[in-house]
Amino acid sequence: MISKIKPKSVEKTDLKAAIIGPSGYTGYEIIRILLKHPKVKIKLLIGNKSKGKHISEIFSSLSQIDLPKIKNLKTANFSNIDIVFSCMPSGNLDNIIHLIPKHIVVIDLSADFRIKDVKLFEKYYTKHQNPKYLKKFTYGLTEFNRNKIKSSRYIACPGCYPTSILIPIVPLIKKNIISTNDIIVDSKSGLSGAGRNTKQDLLFSENYNSFKAYGGGNHRHIPEIESCIYDQTTKKINIVFTPHIIPINRGILSTIYLKGNALQIQKALLKHYENESFIKINNLGEMPKISDVIGTNLCKIGVLQHNKKNHVIITSVIDNLLKGASGQAVQNMNLIFGFPEELGLDQHSFWP
Amino acid sequence: MISKIKPKSVEKTDLKAAIIGPSGYTGYEIIRILLKHPKVKIKLLIGNKSKGKHISEIFSSLSQIDLPKIKNLKTANFSNIDIVFSCMPSGNLDNIIHLIPKHIVVIDLSADFRIKDVKLFEKYYTKHQNPKYLKKFTYGLTEFNRNKIKSSRYIACPGCYPTSILIPIVPLIKKNIISTNDIIVDSKSGLSGAGRNTKQDLLFSENYNSFKAYGGGNHRHIPEIESCIYDQTTKKINIVFTPHIIPINRGILSTIYLKGNALQIQKALLKHYENESFIKINNLGEMPKISDVIGTNLCKIGVLQHNKKNHVIITSVIDNLLKGASGQAVQNMNLIFGFPEELGLDQHSFWP
Amino acid sequence: MISKIKPKSVEKTDLKAAIIGPSGYTGYEIIRILLKHPKVKIKLLIGNKSKGKHISEIFSSLSQIDLPKIKNLKTANFSNIDIVFSCMPSGNLDNIIHLIPKHIVVIDLSADFRIKDVKLFEKYYTKHQNPKYLKKFTYGLTEFNRNKIKSSRYIACPGCYPTSILIPIVPLIKKNIISTNDIIVDSKSGLSGAGRNTKQDLLFSENYNSFKAYGGGNHRHIPEIESCIYDQTTKKINIVFTPHIIPINRGILSTIYLKGNALQIQKALLKHYENESFIKINNLGEMPKISDVIGTNLCKIGVLQHNKKNHVIITSVIDNLLKGASGQAVQNMNLIFGFPEELGLDQHSFWP
Amino acid sequence: MISKIKPKSVEKTDLKAAIIGPSGYTGYEIIRILLKHPKVKIKLLIGNKSKGKHISEIFSSLSQIDLPKIKNLKTANFSNIDIVFSCMPSGNLDNIIHLIPKHIVVIDLSADFRIKDVKLFEKYYTKHQNPKYLKKFTYGLTEFNRNKIKSSRYIACPGCYPTSILIPIVPLIKKNIISTNDIIVDSKSGLSGAGRNTKQDLLFSENYNSFKAYGGGNHRHIPEIESCIYDQTTKKINIVFTPHIIPINRGILSTIYLKGNALQIQKALLKHYENESFIKINNLGEMPKISDVIGTNLCKIGVLQHNKKNHVIITSVIDNLLKGASGQAVQNMNLIFGFPEELGLDQHSFWP
C-alpha cells in the first residue's frame, strides 16, 4: 500500500516545500525552521483566507523576508514541489488531500489522519471526508515508526499531548514493567497549543493569572493515545487523562502516575532511547522543567520513586510547537529525504 | 487542656492585633485584610530583621499608611494585644511561643504546630523546639474543627496544598464513597506559595515561560495531609502527591484522581458543605479555574466523570494566600472572637 | 442646564443600581464593587447579546451569586432604579441615552460624552447619535469637577490614560510651573484596557513575551486630554502621547517628561492633593510601581529630577479598571448620593 | 596601539573559545550560540564560584552536553584558546584582564571598558582597576566601529539600552536632521537584563503583574550613550533617559521622542543601514514589537509622525541578550576572525 519514496539527490538541488495554512502558530514555526534549514527552500504558501497577502502582513516578525505571496489552493502551482506541510486546523486537509499531486510527500500536522478507525475518529471529530486515505497515512511519531515513515508518502504527525505521553509509556508497556490498569496522566500545556483562534477563552486577560483543567474527562487525544498504544503493543489499555492550560506560550509537561519500580523504569527508558538524539532520560529523581526544552525538538523525561510504595511518577516535557508539532514534522521530512534527523532542529533550549 | 476564650465585647472596642514576621507575602496579606476589617486594629508589628523600619520601607504599596514601626520581639509591648498572627517561616515560632503572654490568642501560619507527632514532624522539618506546645494547638481548617477552634487559644493554620486537598476528600473518605487506596493528587501552585525568599529558583526569569514538578515524591505536606485525614476519619491512608509551580503569583489548583461515582461524589460534597459560606461545589462537570477564587477566601470544587469507567476527577481551587493562609487565619479569628466568619473576607474574585 | 439631584435617604433604603453592558471587564468590576458596597443593591442587568443568561454564564467566578438574569433594553423595567452604570463600548450609549428615564443618574464609562466638541469627537470616533446630550454630561474626573458632579445627573467618566495623565499635570499647568510647550507622555497599559473583544491581537500568545507601542501618533485619548486641560486651565496645549501595551492584566503607568523644577513640582502636587483620599504624592525621587495601586482606586505619583538640567520626570500609576474606570464611577456615585467617596473602594493594593 | 589580528585559517581548524563567568544569562546565551556555531568549539569554562561543577548543574537545560568542567582562573589553561568571552558582571574583568595571555582576543560583555574617561566611569561604577587597558578596548557596536573592531584584540560590547538607542539616533545626529537639544528616551526592558542575581526585587512575585520605572534619573547607561554619541559625531549632547522593567524575560523597546520630520528620518535610516544584515527599518508608521526580534540579533526600528507638528517618535526593539549582549559579541567575533557576520546568529524571531 505504501509506495517507496525516491528522494531527489539533495547534493545537487534543494527540496522545494509548500505550506498549506501558514498563518497559525505551527505554520509560523515550520516557516522559521525551513528558513534556516540548509536543504530546503519554501516555494509555495497556500491559504484561502490570506490569499494575496505577503506573509509579513500575517506575522510582523517576518517583514523583509523574501517569500512568495500566499495563493489559494486553486491557483497554486504544485509542479515543482517536493513536500507539502499542512498546518491547517483539523477537518480541512481531509477535504482536499486528493487534490495534491501524487508525487508530493504530504506531512499533516492536524488530527485528520491520525486515527485509523473512522467510527472512533468521527466520535471525537467531525465526519471524515476522505476515509480511504486513512490507511495511506503513517502515524509520524518518529522514534516509533521510523521504518514505516521512511517509506511513506503521507505522514500524520502526532498530537502534542500524545507525543509527550507515548514516548515515556510505550516502551514500559512493551516491556511489561508497569501495571497497565492504573495509568493516570495529568498534562499541562501552554496556550499556543490551542492555536491562533480568536476565541474569548484564548484572550490574554482570561488566562494571565489563571490556570484550569479542561476537556471534560474525554479529550480528543485519548483515542489517539490508546490507538497508538495498541498499534505499538497490541494491548487495549484505557488511560485516565486530564489536560490543563498554563498561562505561558509554549511547552507541555505531562505528569504520569504509574505503579512499578522507578529505578527499573528509568533504566528501561535509558536503554530504549540510548541512540536517540531527541529523547533524553534524566538521572533518577531529576525532574525536567518546561524551560529545559523550549526551542528544541527534545523530549526530556524524569522518573521518580514516590514515598508511597510501588508508586512512580514520570514527568516528560516537550515544546508543543516543535517535538509536539512542527519540529517532529521536519524530523520526519529529514528522515524521508535521507538527511540527518537533526538537520535544522535545535537541541539547546532557548532560555531564559 | 484547652482553655476557654472569653472574647472581649466587640461592641465597645476593637480587637488589638500584633503580627510577627510581617515582611513576607502572608504578612502583607494579613495587614491588607486587617486594615479593612471593621473590628480589628493593628497595634504591633514585630520583625527582627526589619526592626526600626516603617512597613512602607518593606512594601512600597503601603506608603502613607498609619502603622507603628516594626519592633523586635524583646522590646515589643504585648500588654494591650488580644491576638497575634505569626507569619514567620516554619522553624521560628516554636522558638519563641513561650514568650507570648498567655492571655493572647496565637494564630500561626507556619507548619510548626500542624503535625502532632514530633517524630513525624522532625522527619520532614527540623528539630522541634517546643514539643510540649504541640497539643495546645488546634489544626485550623475551619470547616473541620469549628468547635475546637472556637475554644482554642492556639491555632495552627493548615498548609495551602493541604487545604485545597483535604476540603474535597475528607468528607468522601468519611462517607466511604471512594476507594482510599487509589488517591492521587496533582497540585499546581503560584509562586507566592514559596514565600519571599531571595533564592535563585524564585527569580522572575527562572520561572516565566516555564513550569515544573518538585518535591521529590515526598513533599512536607504529605504527612500533614495524612495526619489530618487520620484525625478526621481515623483511617490511615497514603496518598500520592506531586506539587508543581505555575508561573503566576497566586492560586492553587489541585487535580484529584479518585475511584468512585462522580454524581454521588458531587452530591455528597454539595450536601456536606451546603451551609458553608466559603466552600462552593460546582455543578457536575463544571471545573473551576484559579481566577474564580483569586482575592477570595473561597474553595471551589468541580467533580467530573472520566470516560474511563469508575474514574472521577475533582479539581479544587483556592487563593493560596487567603483560604490557603491569611484568609483562613482571619476566618479563625472571626470564629474565636464571635464575629461572623465572613467579616472582612471577600467572596467575589478579583478579576481579570 | 444641570438639574439638581435629590439623593434618596440612604439611611432607610439602599440605592438600586442597573448595569448596561455587564459582560466586559469594567462591567464585572462594577458588579464586584457593588456586591460589596454597603449602600447599593444590583437590581437590573441589561445586555442585548447576553439577554436571558445568568451572569455566571459570562463570568465563571460569579457562580452561585444571587443576581437577576440579564434582560435586553426593551424589556428592562427601570421604574425602581436610581442609578445606571453604562459599561458598553464607545458608540452605544449615545444611541439609547434618551430611552433611560429622566429620574435616573447615568454614569457612563465609555467615551461617548467625554468630548463636548462634536466635530472633534467625530474625527476620532464615529458619528455621534445624540449630540444634544453632550452638554448635559459632566466630565467625571472627580478631583477636578467635584461640585459639578455633585449636582449632575449625567456623568462621563474619563478614559484610563487621561486619568493617569491629567491628575499629575493639570495642577502644574494651572500654577504655571512647567513649560506647556514640551509635555511628552509615554504611557503603558495592561491588556484589560483593550476590553474583552475577541480580536487576534488580544490573544494570549500574541502578547505574552512581547511589548509594543500603538496608536499611530494620534490616539483617541489625545483630544480628551487636551479638552480637559482646556476646561480646567483655559490653555490650548498640545501634548505628545504614545501608549504601549504591557503583557499584564491591569494597571497603567504614565511616564511624563516635563521641563521645570522637580522639588517645586512635587511640593505643588503634595499641596494640591493634600486632602484627597485617592491621590498620593510620593517623596521626591520615589517612583511608584503598578503593583502599588492594583485593586485600589488610588493614583500614586512620583516626581524625579533628571540628571539633565531642568528636566523632570513624573510617573503616575493607577489601576485602569478602578481609578481608570469602574472605581472612579463608584467614587462619583458616592459623591452624588452623599456617601463618603471612599465607601466600597479599596486603598490597599492587592499584592502580590 | 591596536595590534592587528591574524585570524587563524578557519578552513582547517575551529576557533577555540573560553567563557569566563558562564553561569549567568549572557553566559548561557554565548554557550547556546557557540554550541551551534559551525566554526567554534568551547574548550574552557572559567568561574570561581562554580569551579568543579559541570555546566548542567548550573543550567538544567544543558544536561547531557559534552562540555569541560568549570575551572577557576588560576588553574585554567589558556594555551590553546583563541578567544575569551567575559560574561562576568561589571567590576570583575578589570581585575584580571592582565592575566589573560596577549595572543587571545577578549570580548567583554560588561561595562568595564566601555567608557574611556576614567573619572566619568568611576562616577557611575566603582574604582577602575586597570585604567591603562581602557584605550586598548574598542567599543563593540559593530555597525559603528566595524573597521576598528576588525583590527582590535579587545572589544567592549555595548550595553543593551545603549545599543537600542544609539543605532537609531547616531545617524540622525550625524546628518543633522534632528534637534539635538530635545532627545528624550523612554526604554523598557525584560528582567533578564538585570542578570541572574538573587535580589528580592528580581523575584518572580515582585514583578509579575507589575511594571516600574527605575534608575533615579541618572542611570549608568547615560554616560555610555553620550560618550558614544561624542565619539561618533564629536557632539556633546545630553539626553533624557528613563528605563523601565517589563515583566517578561527578554527584549528591549526604546521609545525615542525627537523633533524633526518623520519621513526624512525614516529615509535617512533606511539609506544608512541598507547594507546591514541586522538593522531593519520598518515602513513609515509601522512600529515593531519586542516579539519581532526575540531570538534574533536584529534591531528593528519604526518611525512615526506624531499628530503634534514636528514631533517624531522612533521605537526600536532588540533582544537584550542577543543584539544587546551575546549576539553582538558573536557578531564581533565573526567580524574579527573573517567569518560572515551572520554566522550562527538568527534573523527570524522565536515566536510565539
Q: What is the pLDDT of residues C281-300, one digit of tens each?
A: 999 999 999 999 999 999 99
CB contact under 8 Å between D60 and A352, yes or no, is no
Q: How far apart are CA A118 and CA A116, in angstroms?
A: 6
> Looking at per-residue confidence, does B10 or D324 come out higher?
D324
The subunits that touch chain D, with at least 3 C-beta pairs less than 8 Å apart, are A, B, C
Percent of chain C clearing pLDDT 90 (strictly above): 94
CB contact under 8 Å between C204 and A207, yes or no, is yes
Sheet holding D137-139, edge to edge: D70-71, D40-46, D15-20, D83-86, D105-108, D154-156, D137-139
CB contact under 8 Å between C293 and B61, yes or no, is yes
Per-residue pLDDT averaged across D261-276, rounded? 98
Residue C317 CA: distances (Å) to CA of C141, C184, C187, C273, D346:
15, 16, 10, 15, 37
In D, minimum Cα distance to B250 occurs at D205
Residue B302 contacts residue B315 (beta carbons within 8 Å)? yes
User: What ipTM was predicted for this assembly?
Assistant: 0.95
Report chain A residues whose CB lies below 8 A from the CB of D278: none
Q: Which residues of A are catalytic?
A: 160
In B, minimum Cα distance to D207 occurs at B204
The three grid cell numbers given for residue A47, joined into one nine-digit string = 491559504
Instruction: Delineate the domains of chain B, giving CATH numbers in brackets.
Output: 15-157+324-336 (3.40.50.720), 160-320 (3.30.360.10)
φ, ψ (nearest 5 deg) of residue C264: -60, -40
Q: Does A294 touch chain B (CB under 8 A)?
A: yes
Q: Closest CB to D205: pick one of B191, B206, B209.
A: B191
Lowest-pLDDT range, D17-21, D43-47, D217-221, D267-271? D217-221
CB contact under 8 Å between D290 and C212, yes or no, is yes
Q: Which of D61, D191, D346 to mutate to test the interface with A (most CBs of A within 10 A)?
A: D61
Q: Closest CB to A348: pick one of D35, D348, D349.
A: D35
Q: What is the pLDDT of residue C335?
A: 98
Convert the pLDDT of each residue in D194-250 to its tens digit: 999 999 999 999 999 999 999 988 999 999 999 999 999 999 999 999 999 999 999
CB contact under 8 Å between C348 and B35, yes or no, is yes
Q: Which of C32, C54, C350, C351 to mutate to test the interface with B (most CBs of B within 10 A)?
A: C351
Per-residue pLDDT band at B12 (split at 50, 70, 90): low
Amino acid at D178: I
DSSP string, D30-97: HHHHHHH-TTEEEEEEE-TTTTT--GGGT-GGGTT---PPEE-GGG---TT--EEEE-PPTTSHHHHG
Residue D301 contacts residue A63 (beta carbons within 8 Å)? no
**Closest Cα to residue D291, out of D342, D246, D243, D345?**
D246
Q: Which residues of B are catalytic?
A: 160
Q: How far apart are CA B100 and CA B73, in angstroms?
A: 9
Q: Mean pLDDT in chain A? A: 95
Q: Closest CB to D280: pick one of A64, A280, A282.
A: A64
Amino acid at C49: K
Q: Does B151 touch chain C (CB under 8 A)?
A: no
Convert the pLDDT of each residue in B138-182 to its tens digit: 999 999 999 999 999 999 999 999 999 999 999 999 999 999 999
Q: Does A25 touch chain D (CB under 8 A)?
A: yes
Residue D279 contacts residue D298 (beta carbons within 8 Å)? yes
Is the pLDDT assigned to residue C91 strictly greater than 60? yes
Q: Does D250 touch chain A (CB under 8 A)?
A: yes
Q: What is the pLDDT of residue C12?
A: 54
Mapped onto helix, strand or coil, the DSSP state of residue A37 is: coil
φ, ψ (nearest 5 deg) of residue C287: -95, 130
> Looking at per-residue confidence, does B12 or D195 come out higher?
D195
CB contact under 8 Å between D255 and C210, yes or no, is no
Report chain A residues whose CB lies below 8 A from the CB of B244: 188, 253, 255
Q: What is the pLDDT of residue C4?
A: 45
Task: Tally B–C CB contacts below 8 A.
Answer: 71
Q: Does C75 touch chain A (CB under 8 A)?
A: no
Percent of chain C clearing pLDDT 70 (strictly above): 97
CB contact under 8 Å between B249 and D200, yes or no, is no
CB contact under 8 Å between D211 and C251, yes or no, is yes
User: Hey, which residues does B17 pair with through a beta bridge?
Assistant: B42, B83
Report chain D residues whose CB lies below 8 A from the CB of B192: 205
Helix D142-150, helix D327-336: angle, nearest 10: 40
Q: Does B289 touch chain C (CB under 8 A)?
A: yes
All residues at 6 or more sequence positions from A152 whose CB lies less than 8 Å from its CB, including other chains = A2, A5, A137, A138, A336
pTM of the model: 0.96
The three grid cell numbers given for residue A270, joined into one nine-digit string = 535509558
Q: Does D206 touch chain B (CB under 8 A)?
A: yes
CB contact under 8 Å between A280 and D249, yes or no, is no
Convert the pLDDT of each residue in D172-188 to its tens digit: 999 999 999 999 999 99
CB contact under 8 Å between A63 and D300, yes or no, is yes
Residue B11, Cα to own-chain centre: how many angstroms? 28
H/E segment holding residue C25:
helix C25-36
Q: Does B192 touch chain C (CB under 8 A)?
A: yes
CB contact under 8 Å between B182 and A186, yes or no, is no
Residue A187, Cα to own-chain centre: how many angstroms? 15
In B, minimum Cα distance to C277 occurs at B64
| Beta strand segments in C52-140, E | 70-71, 83-86, 105-108, 137-139
Is the pLDDT assigned to residue B89 strictly greater than 60? yes
CB-side exposure of D133: number of CA atoms within 13 Å? 21
Q: What is the pLDDT of residue A13?
A: 74
The subunits that touch chain B, with at least 3 C-beta pairs less than 8 Å apart, are A, C, D
Q: Does D64 touch chain A (CB under 8 A)?
A: yes
Per-residue pLDDT averaged across B272-287, rounded? 97
Q: Does B261 touch chain A (CB under 8 A)?
A: no
φ, ψ (nearest 5 deg) of residue A15: -65, 145
Q: What is the pLDDT of residue B1?
A: 33
Residue C221, Cα to own-chain centre: how many angstroms? 12
Residue A300, Cα to own-chain centre: how many angstroms? 15
Query: How distant is the Cα of D217 from the closest Cα of chain C, in angstroms?
Result: 4
Is the pLDDT assigned to residue C1 strictly greater than 60? no
Q: Rg (Cα) of chain A, in Å, rounded?
A: 20
Q: Which of A210, A229, A236 to mutate to test the interface with B (most CBs of B within 10 A)?
A: A210
CB contact under 8 Å between A209 and B308, yes or no, is no
Q: Which residues of D are catalytic?
A: 160
Q: Closest CB to D350: pick one of A286, A295, A348.
A: A295
CB contact under 8 Å between B351 and C288, yes or no, is no
Report chain B residues whose CB lies below 8 A from the CB of A209: 248-251, 290-291, 294, 351-352
CB contact under 8 Å between A306 and B244, yes or no, is no
Q: Mean pLDDT in chain B? A: 95
Residue B252 contacts residue B167 (beta carbons within 8 Å)? no
Residue C178 contacts residue C259 (beta carbons within 8 Å)? yes
Helices (H), chain D: 25-36, 93-96, 118-124, 142-150, 160-174, 204-207, 221-233, 262-272, 327-336
Report chain D residues whose CB lies below 8 A from the CB of C305: 217
What burial class does residue C1 get, using C-beta atoms within 10 Å of its C-beta: 0-12 exposed, 13-18 middle, 19+ buried? Answer: exposed
Q: How far apart are CA A27 and CA A30, in angstroms?
A: 5
Q: Which of C60, C273, C297, C321 to mutate to test the interface with B (most CBs of B within 10 A)?
A: C60
Per-residue pLDDT band at A1 (split at 50, 70, 90): very low
In C, minimum Cα distance to D182 occurs at C182
Q: What is the pLDDT of residue B9?
A: 46
